[in-house]
Structure 1
Amino acid sequence: MAIEEFQEKSAYEQAGGSEKLRELVDRFYDLMDLEPEFADIRAMHPTTLDGSRDKLYWFLCGWMGGPDMYIERFGHPRLRARHLPYAIASKERDQWLRCMALAMQDVGMAESLQERLMQSFYQTADWMRNQAG
């Protein structure tokens, strides 16, 4: 057995790699676009979600341990700085998290990975808040 086999798989690998992450991102944005409960975060996005889909997909690939496609295209993500133009309070944070949780469930992501990712997503989404409430 190679040493690599003893190492824990990255979240990217656990999620199912590129194809599964694309499916997750597409489901996330489909839910955001279709479900009234996500209207506040949908309103922050452009009319067409194609660019948003690509950016989140590229970001998640690298963030989860796969190819750094976002960094290759745009450099450091600077997440908070890039989101400062948008009013993000607890309501928007919670809508984003709920939308992502549903998307992960809908694409059949392993529950243990969902829990691990939601902890990280919460920390990041909470850090993005720039409004009281």
Structure 2
Amino acid sequence: MTDPAPGEPTYFERVGGHETFVKLVREFYRGVAADPPLRALYPEEDLEPAQRRLLMFLEQYWGGPKTYSQERGHPRLRMRHMPFRVTPSQRDRWLTHMNAAIDTLDLEPLDEEMMRGYMNHAANFMVNAQDD
């Protein structure tokens, strides 16, 4: 994500800041919790730690607080996801729930397009195995 021009709000600020990303992540994980094949990718019994990590990552990526890097270092998304078998089917399940969560945000069309585009790119980037 590029920095805005001086005096211009960041994407994070433009879409509503922390509360918007809290809602996005909460709604996304509501879908994950109800999707057994996707839920199986999350080894922790409680989804709260995963929720917190995703919230910190997305806020930082979109121009908010740098908490993710302060606590966890460089995101290294693909490396962090390598222990998990992420197939095209799992990617599609992930995107279904993420897109449903984005639907709850009432974003401006350009902001919605940017978010969906990034999520699609990130989901494709995580695929590291083929479906059986």
Same fold (TM over 0.5): yes
TM-score, normalisation: structure 2: 0.87
Alpha-carbon distance, 1:112 to partner: 2.6
Aligned partners of 1:27 and 1:107 also within 8 Å: no
The residue that corresponds to 2:21 in the other structure is: 21
- Cα displacement (A) at 1:108: 2.5
Q: Distance in 1 between matches of 2:38 and 2:26?
A: 15
1:42 is matched with: 39
Q: Deviations over 1:1-47 (max 9, x none)?
A: xx844x3x32211221011111111111012113xxx3322111122
Q: In structure 2, what is the equivalent of residue 55 of structure 1? A: 53
Distance 1:102 1:69, change over 3 A: same
CA contact (8 A) 1:97 1:118 kept: no
Map Cα deviations across residues 65-115 of structure 1 (whole Å, 9 max, x no partner).
Answer: 111110010100110010001101111111111111100112323333222
Equivalent residue letter for 1:31? G
Q: Distance in 2 between matches of 1:14 and 1:41?
A: 31
Distance 1:39 1:14, change over 3 A: farther
Match of 1:73 in 2: 71
Structure 1 stretches of 4+ moved >6 Å: none
Counterparts of 1:105 and 1:123 in 2: how far apart (Å)? 18
Under a length normalisation based on structure 1, what TM-score does the superposition of the two structures give? 0.86
Q: Comparing 115-124 with 68-77, which one deviates more in the overlay?
A: 115-124
| Paired letter, 1:26 | R
For structure 2, the 5+ residue unaligned runs are: none
The equivalent residue for 1:123 is 121
> Does residue 82 of structure 1 match 2:80?
yes
* Separation in 2, partners of 1:115, 1:40: 27
Question: Matched residue of 2:63: which SS?
Answer: coil
> Hey, what's the Cα distance between the residues in 2 that align with 1:89 and 1:117?
22
CA RMSD, Structure 1 to Structure 2 (Å): 1.6
Higher helix share: 1
